[in-house]
Structures are given as C-alpha cells and as structure tokens.
Amino acid sequence: MAPIHFELKDSVGIITLNRPDKLNSFNRQMALLMQEKLDECKNDKVRCVYITGAGRAFSAGQDLSEVTEPGGPGFNVILSEHYNPIVSRIRKLEKPVVAAVNGVAAGAGANIALCSDIIVASSSASFIQAFSRIGLIPDSGGTYMLPRLIGWQKAAGLMMLGEKISAEEAEKIGMIYKMIPDEKFPRESMSIAKTLAEMATRGLAFTKQLLNISMHSSFEEQIHEEDVFQQRAAQTEDYKEGVNAFLEKRSPKFRGQ
C-alpha cells in the first residue's frame, strides 16, 4: 500500500496520507512521495489540492519509531529533505491547497496542515503541537505560521505546553477556517475544494502570493504589490470571462487561464 494515495477528480488533486495503522505518521518514503505528488499538482489539470488522511488520523507527524531505528534518517536530513521541501512546496504552489483535517493532527502533521491555504477540520479532529512533549521545537513552518494565525501568546502557549485542542477551539481562535460536523465532513470539505477548482485559478494564485508577501512587507510595499498583481489578474482570460458574465447576468465559466 503506497503511503500516499493520489487521485485527480473534478480538477482537484486529492492527496491522501495513507499509513492509517501508524496514524499517517511520516517516514522517509512517505515524505519523499508527498513531495513527488505535490510536484505533480503543478500540472494545469490540477486547479486545487486537497490533503487529507486515511483512517482516524490526519497525521501524527514524524514516525518516532523511524528516528530511533539504527540506520534511519538522522536529524541532519529530516527537516532539510523531508518536511521543509513539503511545506515550501505547499506555500509556493500556484493554486489553493485545502487541508481537510479528518482526525488528530500532531507535530509536523499539524504544521503541514497549518501551511495550507484553507484548513477545515471535522468536529472530532484535534491539533497538538506535540514537539515540546518530546523535547523538540515546533518545525515544518509552525513557528512561522502559528503566531501569525492566532497571535503570539496563544501560539507560545500551545507550542510550549503541547496541549491538544479540539477543532471547535481551533476554529474559535482562528487557527482554522472552519469546523464541519463529522457526518458532513467528507462531502462539505470536498465541496470547498471543488468550488475553488472552478474559480479563477490564476487570480487565486496571485492572492496566495500576495498573502505570502504580506508576511514580511510594509503597508506601502504591500499596496504596491497589489497594484502589480491586479494588473496581472486583469490580463487573464478568467478576468475577461468574470466581468463579461457579470454584465451578461450569467454564471462565469472559468478555465483557469
């Protein structure tokens, strides 16, 4: 059974973390395959990426039995070759990435979700910055994303205390976009991805790039970037279609161009 399952459906690239008996914890093979699949998602046929987990977990982060195995990947490669290339690909991918957190998300598993563009979680899901419990620091972009999502104080508390929080709490503090009741989760989370896949893909990619840039720019720099990207958006076929459809009082048919 491949540790990552990939499927393209209705222009959504569905990446399923697939080691359910290990709570979808990452080993080297899985981390490298995830990078491969994210690269496949650069293809124009994919207009939204949807990441979820098989079984009861989203992901328990690093497979801790692998790091203690003699001959297993060492700390000198785990971030540089496994997690950093994954989260960097997610942030750079020029299309929306939805993390559909179906169950517990711990350690690097939680932070891969937090690096996605839109994070939704099923009502029974939970998040835990498990690192401090084993003497490690939060990685996979966690120290960058978490304080920006929920503020310094909440981030420091969650990262230092390593407390598990529910999807409901995660929604309340702004860590995720929304919580969806378990019974509706597969359908409604996928419906968000399908909606995004039918939208103006390049415009969404520009929005994503602007959000990335906003992390480190001044107000004046940011409004300059908005000017640059708005002019690019205005050159797209989808903008022409969007404005024509509005004027003709019909629904737009975006093609991602």
Q: What residues make contact with ligand LHQ under the rule CB under 6 A?
A: 22-23, 25, 60-65, 67, 75, 78-79, 104, 106-108, 128, 130-131, 134, 136, 139
Q: In this structure, which amino acid lies at residue 114?
A: L
Instruction: Indicate the residue among 79 and 149 with the shorter CB distance to ligand LHQ.
Output: 79
Nearest to 104 by CA among 137, 78, 126: 126
Instruction: Indicate the residue among 141 and 252 with the shorter CB distance to ligand LHQ.
Output: 141
Q: Which residues contact 185 (CB under 8 A, 6 or more apart)?
A: 100, 102, 120, 122, 123
Instruction: Indicate the residue among 108 and 233 with the shorter CB distance to ligand LHQ.
Output: 108
Mutual angle of helices 142-150 and 152-161, in 10-degree steps: 130
Q: How far is the CB of 31 from ligand LHQ (least distance, A)?
A: 10
Q: How far is the CB of 115 from ligand LHQ (least distance, A)?
A: 13
Q: How far is the CB of 57 from ligand LHQ (least distance, A)?
A: 7
Q: How far is the CB of 248 from ligand LHQ (least distance, A)?
A: 51
Instruction: Indicate the residue among 160 and 223 with the shorter CB distance to ligand LHQ.
Output: 160
In angstroms, the CA 75 to CA 253 distance is 48
- DSSP lists the bridge partners of residue 12 as 9, 48
Q: How far is the CB of 60 from ligand LHQ (least distance, A)?
A: 3
Alpha helices in the chain, H assignment, sequence order: 28-40, 64-68, 75-77, 84-92, 108-114, 142-150, 152-161, 167-172, 185-197, 201-214, 219-234, 237-247
Instruction: Indicate the residue among 79 and 245 with the shorter CB distance to ligand LHQ.
Output: 79
